[in-house]
Amino acid sequence: MSAEAARAPLTTADTRIHITHRTARWDERPATVADALDFWSFAAGAANVVMQLAWPGVGHGVVESKVDSGNLTKHPWKRARTTFSYLAVAILGDPGDRAAYRDAVDSVHRHVRSEPGSPIPYSAFDRDLQMWVAACLFVGLEDTYQLLRGTLSDELAEHFYHSAFTLGTTLQVSEDQWPSTRADFDRYWNEACQRVEIDDVVRNYLHDLLDLRMISVLLRPMFGPLLRFLTVGFLAPVFRDALRVEWTPGQQRRFEYLFLLVAFVNRFLPKFVRQGGSQLLLADLRRRIRRRRNLI
């Protein structure tokens, strides 16, 4: 019997972060995933990498990739730019922006596939793997949105969810592949998390990421502990267990109080400050398209 088959069914208690102390809602106007692009949402970026790579096909696809230009450990700043640019174009871009970015990603993905000696078969064009990656992005954005703006009601959560389909359809995920309702997505997510499994190869890669092994040794003591704290805080129990990291009640309280403070400050920042980074990335992408430069 496989490890996936032997695992007891997972619930949202296993697959989603749970926050006891959360900021109150700003208002009850319908929210979209575009409202989640506050710059503090990038604090969950490394946690989202962990989540995506927790599926073996994605994890080994990234670790074994021969495409050095997108290698996180060799070109961390470029990889961060291309990842956040993807979010900007998928959420804020127009159909032309998305088509151009899809073509650029496809040109790279053609080279990301398992070789005969790989322990895990994978292809970057596997729509199930792409759906998983897109689902991870949605979960990360929903988590950070609710930390910064307050809990969504069922009705608002449904509206927020339906605005997020372009996270997948900007690649090869078809709209009918997305679960049709927010409740259907929860069922998909809990079932998909049954496939979470991080082996030693991928785990070592991810711990190198959290330890910032790809940047100057002089900068690691300054940023490393904060990155690890934020990353583990944004991971649900199923991912913490797979990564083999600990998270104490005291750390959980500090995480929640930090975001209560951040949410309070964020409330008074104008939109162009909160979302300026995403708008700049989209503007850079459009400039690259006009000048026929590489997008990723």
Q: What's the mean pLDDT when you consider all of the chain?
A: 89
Q: Using a pLDDT cut of 90, give the percent of the chain over it.
A: 66
pTM as predicted? 0.92
Higher pLDDT residue, 220 or 131? 131
Which of 40-49, 50-59, 77-86, 286-295 tops mean pLDDT?
50-59
pLDDT in tens, 142-190: 999 999 999 999 999 999 999 999 999 998 898 899 999 999 999 999 9
* pLDDT tops 60 at residue 14: yes
Predicted confidence at residue 78, as pLDDT, reads 73
* pLDDT tops 70 at residue 3: no
* pLDDT tops 80 at residue 111: no
Domain boundaries defined on the chain: 23-290
* pLDDT tops 50 at residue 2: no
Concatenate the DSSP letters of all residues of the chain into one string.
--HHHHSPPP-HHHHS---SS-PPPS--S---GGGG--GGGGGGHHHHHHHHHTSHHHHHHHHT---GGG-TTT-HHHHHHHHHHHHHHHHH--HHHHHHHHHHHHHHHTT-B--TT-SS--BTT-HHHHHHHHHHHHHHHHHHHHHHH-PPPHHHHHHHHHTTTHHHHTTT--GGGS-SSHHHHHHHHHHHGGG----HHHHHHHHHHHTTTTS-TTTHHHHHHHHHHHHHHTS-HHHHHHHT----HHHHHHHHHHHHHHHHHHHTS-HHHHTHHHHHHHHHHHHHHHTT----
